[in-house]
Chains A and B, each alone.
Chain A
Amino acid sequence: MTTETHAPMPHRAAPDWLWYLGVPVAGVLLYLLYGQLIPISEWLTGLFPVARDSHTGEAIAFFTYDVPKVLLLLTGIVFVTGVLRSWFSPEKTRALLAGKRQIWGYPLAAALGVLTPFCSCSSVPLFIGFVSAGIPLGVTFSFLIAGPMVGPVGLGLLYGLVGWKIATIYLVFGFTIATVSGWVLGRFGLEKYLQDWVRELNAGPVGDLPEERLTLVDRLKIGLEQVREIVGKVWIWVLVGIGIGAAIHGYVPEAVMLKIMGGEAWWSVPAAVVVGVPMYTNAAGVIPIVEALLGKGAALGTTLAFMMSVIALSLPEMVILKQVLTYRLIAIFIAVVAAGILATGFLFNFLL
Chain B
Amino acid sequence: MKTVKVYGPGCKRCEATEAMVKEAAARLGIEVAVEKITDAKSIAVAGVMSTPGLSVDGKLVHAGGLPDAAKLDGWLTA
Interface, chain A (partner B; CB < 8 A) = 1, 4-5, 8-9, 11, 89-91, 94, 117-119, 121-122, 124-126, 128-130, 132, 197, 201, 203-209, 222, 225, 323-324
Contacts and interface: CB of A to CB of B under 8 A. Distances in A.
Interface string B12-47: 000000000000000111000000000011011111
Contacts of A323: 40
Contacts of A9: 27, 73
A78 B67 CA distance: 20
A205 B41 CA distance: 14
Q: Closest 8 A-B residue pairs measured CB to CB?
A: A207-B60, A8-B73, A128-B44, A129-B49, A207-B47, A206-B47, A122-B51, A121-B11
A125 B11 contact: no
Given A4-B28, A8-B73, A90-B64, A126 B50 contact: yes
A5 B51 contact: no
Given A124-B44, A323-B40, A324-B40, 11 more contacts: A117-B50, A118-B64, A122-B8, A122-B9, A124-B43, A125-B51, A128-B41, A129-B48, A201-B45, A204-B45, A209-B63
Prevailing SS type, chain B contact patch: mixed
B40 to A, nearest CB: 4
A209 B9 contact: no
A109 B51 CA distance: 20
A130 B47 CA distance: 11
B44 A122 contact: no
Contact of A121 (B9, B41, B61): B9
B25 to A, nearest CB: 11
A5 B30 CA distance: 8
Contacts of A208: 60
Nearest to B42: A125
A321 B47 CA distance: 18
A207 B58 CA distance: 11
Nearest to A126: B49
B70 interface: yes
Contact of B40 (A94, A125, A132): A125
B77 interface: yes
A117 B63 CA distance: 12
Contacts of B53: 207
Contacts of B46: 204, 207
A203 B70 CA distance: 31
A5 B63 contact: no
B40 A124 contact: yes
